[in-house]
Chain A
Amino acid sequence: DAGVTQSPTHLIKTRGQQVTLRCSPKSGHDTVSWYQQALGQGPQFIFQYYEEEERQRGNFPDRFSGHQFPNYSSELNVNALLLGDSALYLCASSLALGTVPYNEQFFGPGTRLTVL
């Protein structure tokens, strides 16, 4: 049973560019959350997708957008990249509310984004 997978593993971009990160959830999971983790910090919640809709968003600007596909996989898009966007981007999958233990999150290995 494959866990959460993310691609690419590493990415280097320059300021002003756009990037798309991809995530495939754990088999059977229907909810995907995205996090940004700067070095030495805890993960910061970006947003969560369920039933192809963004149902919760953290304190991130509109430059951060996402999408969830019918097979539950998800993309994170970041436009107009800034140096401060350099971080590890984590995808976590879980089961929707109402299923025990619905709030256990399974994380992928992350995508390391470097903005030069």
Chain B
Amino acid sequence: SQKIEQNSEALNIQEGKTATLTCNYTNYSPAYLQWYRQDPGRGPVFLLLIRENEKEKRKERLKVTFDTTLKQSLFHITASQPADSATYLCALDIAGTYKYIFGTGTRLKVLA
């Protein structure tokens, strides 16, 4: 069956360091992959989208890579700040449908 895995354990890093979050998937062939940020009690906020034919995408301090061979996406936040503390979700489309599948999310805590 189709499955998305994100690190279930929280990730704690020191302010100023680069945070790297992982999203692995199996039995999918997504056309694109998205990353969202979610703060407690709030809806997810779209951050970045990367298509299957793109290796890397950047937006300010954010960088996403997409390796369709490894079936993995990496999400990087450089020069991390305490305000970056949140849960980060990856989401994939299901080819041929309008359905989106989300991972369980990784909670990031940036320590001052």
Seen from chain A, the residues whose Cβ lies within 8 Å of a Cβ on chain B are: 4, 33, 35, 40-45, 48, 50, 55-56, 58, 90, 92, 97, 101, 103-110, 112
Residues of A within 8 A of B100 (CB): 33, 45, 105
Q: Digit string of B87-105 for contact with A (CB within 8 Å is 1, else 0)?
A: 0010101000111111111
Contact of A107 among B4, B43, B104 (CB under 8 A): B43
For the complex formed, measure the closest distance between the CB of A73 and the CB atoms of chain B, giving whole angstroms: 16
For the complex formed, measure the closest distance between the CB of A31 and the CB atoms of chain B, giving whole angstroms: 8
Does A107 contact B98, Cβ atoms closer than 8 Å? Answer: no
Does A56 contact B99, Cβ atoms closer than 8 Å? Answer: yes
- Interface size (B, Cβ < 8 Å)? 23
Does B104 contact A90, Cβ atoms closer than 8 Å? Answer: no
Complex alpha-carbon distance, A58 and B102, angstroms: 12
Which residue of chain A has its CB nearest to the CB of B103?
A42
10 pairs of residues in contact across A and B, judged by CB atoms under 8 Å: A33-B100, A45-B102, A48-B99, A55-B98, A104-B46, A105-B46, A107-B36, A109-B42, A109-B43, A110-B43
Residues of A within 8 A of B11 (CB): none
Which residue of chain A has its CB nearest to the CB of B6?
A42
For chain B residues 2-38, which have a beta carbon within 8 Å of chain A?
Answer: 4, 32, 34, 36
Does B102 contact A42, Cβ atoms closer than 8 Å? Answer: yes
